[in-house]
Amino acid sequence: MNNFGIFFLISYIPIEIKLINQLILSFKKGGKKIKIIVDGSSEELDIKGISKRLKDIGAVSLKTEHHYIDIDMLGTLPSDSEITPVTTNSAEGLEIYRHSTSHILAHAVKSLYPEAKISIGPATEDGFYYDFDVETPFTAEDIRKIEKKMKQIIKKNNPFVRKTIKRSEAIELFKEMGEDYKVELLDELPDDEVSLYEEGEFVDLCRGPHVRSTGVIKAFKLLRTAGAYWRGDENNKMLQRIYGASFPSDKELEDYLNFLEEVKKRDHRRLGKELDLFSINDEIGSGLIMWHPEGALIRKTIEDFWQDEHLKADYNILYSPHIAKLNLWEKSGHWDFYRENMYSPMDIDGMDYEIKPMNCPFHISVYKSRIRSYKDLPVRYAELGTVYRYERSGVLHGLLRVRGFTQDDAHIFCRVDQIEDEISKVIDFTVFVLKTFGFDNYDIYLSTRPEKYVGSQENWDISTEALRNALTAKGLAFEIDPGEGVFYGPKIDIKVKDSLGRPWQCSTIQVDFNNPERFAISYRGSDDKEHMPIMIHRALMGSLERFFGILIEHYAGAFPLWLAPVQLSLLTVSERHSDYVEKLKNFFKSAGIRAETDVSNEKIGYKIRQTSMRKIPYSVVAGDKEVESKVLSLRKRNGDTVGPFGKEELLKILQKEIEEKALYK
């Protein structure tokens, strides 16, 4: 949920509410007008004129200088106000629209299940959810009933009516209603007055705004249920969450539901099982990945590419331990700033050791292993280092959210005058790697100083400016992401977009003055004095596990030839062709092609279907004709056939495609 959603869900700003009808009357009598801004053009209209304009453009809310407000609050504004209509063409308008749908969901649940207790119901990027405290989890039949009830409420076109009351009165009201979660929220609010929204016989605690009435909601669908701890804390009670999608038109909803079907088909957990790539076993532990042979083969291919390219780019490859003394993490600041994501220390020989959540301190140790000169810098270390972080069980998700993962980590130690050049090189390297894997569409964010940070403001400013200058010099568009830097420095985040247009956080570049200072690392300058280097943290893919999950979904399991675990399948028409395809397999494998044979007694149609289901890029069928002529027709996984080729010619074709890392079409 974005900041706007949090803001209008549980943030309350007292607004003096007078009788709207009286104010509208006073406006009419006094001839007062309000300035309305539409598509950059402004004009002054009276209440009647503005109301008509708002209806014509389909406004769901109004934006004043400081707030989003309900359309029905128009009459409360002074005559010198400026308003901007908010429609569902904007993110804010969709948020309001979807949050209003969540209220209708809560109304429907309370109507059907009066014993249910309501908690929160925010909008999400594509819809909404609401959490309920119920004795028995909702069933599919329950969801159908709730959806039917929601449609009835929408048909009634109940107005959303905002009321402001004293917080103490609201607490008493919700206590009488038995709504414990609302009481808990109210207890923590600092405001003397809060707002409630009535819709039909349903009342909810909410800052708003909302659409005018339930009839404004045109298209929605309840999607699924899930368990969710109250306030995301596993020590709290598990609630039942109902997710839904909400759109301004049936066409948009239909398109979104089709999109969800495509997402479902590409789910890396399903494809990982079907293609036998990886597994997660409860006997081993949640969030810990077992790489199966074909998945491991893809991983090896990725690692080989990664290491080769890093060596070309003048990085040195490192390997570091999986544990270290706890005081190392205290010194680095991770124990103070990152403890909730670390595991409990273990006692070894009477000393506390910690399983590593990061690789940084180890690379610093290697840097400090000998005296460095200004001529040695930059020093670039890279490691595929496996780290372990505590993630709550409720957020674990296949390969995308795990507890043990391998970072494609690197740290650059450089002089201050080298920062921008090094960042520029890292950006180029990142773009090259992402494009090689088929990601040429991405968004870039510059994340600035968070509320909780270490180091001087001066160093933060220097670091942030270096990142900004490198992006600007490249002519790359980027957005500022305020307060989202890590505790030791600002960063650049690159979010790739997959084949479905979904963004994924992968690459990051971070400038760090903090750790060099904490670990007292230095180099001898041209003035023969000791100086502190700057440390740049960077990851191109993020982690191998997460990146692999993204790749599976991006390609729907149909990897390009250079990544495919099996690149060529050689199929026999009958048993008498077995010797021939075995010789072919040996020929291609000796040349580095990942080839396999299927010499089973199954019919050739079945064998072809199997290679298609396994998403093998190419296959060759060998029968009497092929054995006699020694020529081969290459069958693509999409069903097209090219050739015939001699085996040497076919080998060159495959090798060229692999060498170029061509993306399979």
451: phi then psi, degrees, rounded to nearest 5? -65, -40
Please give the Cα distance from 612 to 556 (Å, whole number). 13
Q: Which residue has the tokens 């042979």?
A: 293
Name the catalytic one among 162, 389, 546, 607.
Answer: 389
Beta-bridged to residue 130, according to DSSP, are 242
Phi/psi at 373 (5° precision): -105, 160
What is the H or E stretch that residue 166 is in?
Answer: strand 161-166
Q: Can you give the length of the chain in residues?
A: 665
Report d(CA 79, CA 35) in Å as an integer: 8
Q: Is 407 a catalytic residue?
A: yes
User: In 544-599, at which residue ranges do the beta strands (DSSP E only) sit?
Assistant: 568-572, 595-598
Cβ neighbours of residue 79 under 8 Å, at least 6 residues apart? 27, 30, 32, 33, 34
Report in angstroms the alpha-carbon separations of 266 from 126, 269, 272, 617. 19, 9, 10, 17
Q: Where are the beta strands (DSSP E) in 357-427?
A: 379-388, 404-414
537 as an active site residue: the answer is: yes
Query: Of 114, 209, 104, 119, which Cα lies nearest the Cα of 158?
Result: 104
- Cα 342 from chain centroid? 22
Q: Which residue in the list 266, 363, 411, 554 is annotated as catalytic? A: 411
| Six-digit token string for 514 | 């903090």
- Of 14, 228, 263, 18, the residue nearest 126 (C-alpha): 263
Question: Taking a C-beta distance cutoff of 8 angstroms, is the pair 62, 68 a contact?
Answer: yes
Instruction: State yes or no: is 531 an active-site residue.
Output: no
Q: Which tokens go with 173?
A: 């009201």
Contact 131, 151 (CB under 8 A): no
Choose, from 360, 418, 512, 635, the residue flagged as catalytic: 360
> CA triplet 561, 563, 565: central angle to 5 degrees?
90
Q: Identify the active-site residue in 537, 594, 615, 635.
A: 537
d(CA 605, CA 132): 52
Which of the following is catalytic: 266, 363, 372, 407? Answer: 407
Is 360 a known active-site residue?
A: yes
> What span, in angstroms and rounded, lies between the C-alpha atoms of 612 and 606?
10
Catalytic, 103? Answer no
Tokens of 60: 């769901």
Contact between 537 and 512 under an 8 Å Cβ cutoff? The reply is yes
The alpha carbon of residue 378 and the mean position of all alpha carbons in its chain are separated, in whole angstroms, by 33
To which residue do tokens 């429609």 refer? 87
Residues 6+ apart with CB under 8 A from 448: 464, 480, 481, 482, 483, 484, 485, 490
Name the one residue in this structure whose structure tokens are 């006997």.
283
List of E strands, 177-288: 193-199, 202-205, 219-229, 238-247, 278-279
Contacts of 13 by beta carbon, 8 Å cutoff, 6+ apart: 67, 191, 207
411 catalytic? Reply is yes
Candidates 409, 493, 512, 598; catalytic one: 409
Cβ(136)–Cβ(23) below 8 Å = no
In whole angstroms, give the CA distance from residue 410 to residue 620: 42
| Greatest extent of the chain over all pairs of C-alpha atoms, in Å | 100
Please compute Rg for the chain using Cα positions.
30
Q: Which residue out of 363, 491, 607, 614 is catalytically annotated? A: 491
409 is catalytic: yes
Catalytic residues: 360, 389, 407, 409, 411, 491, 537
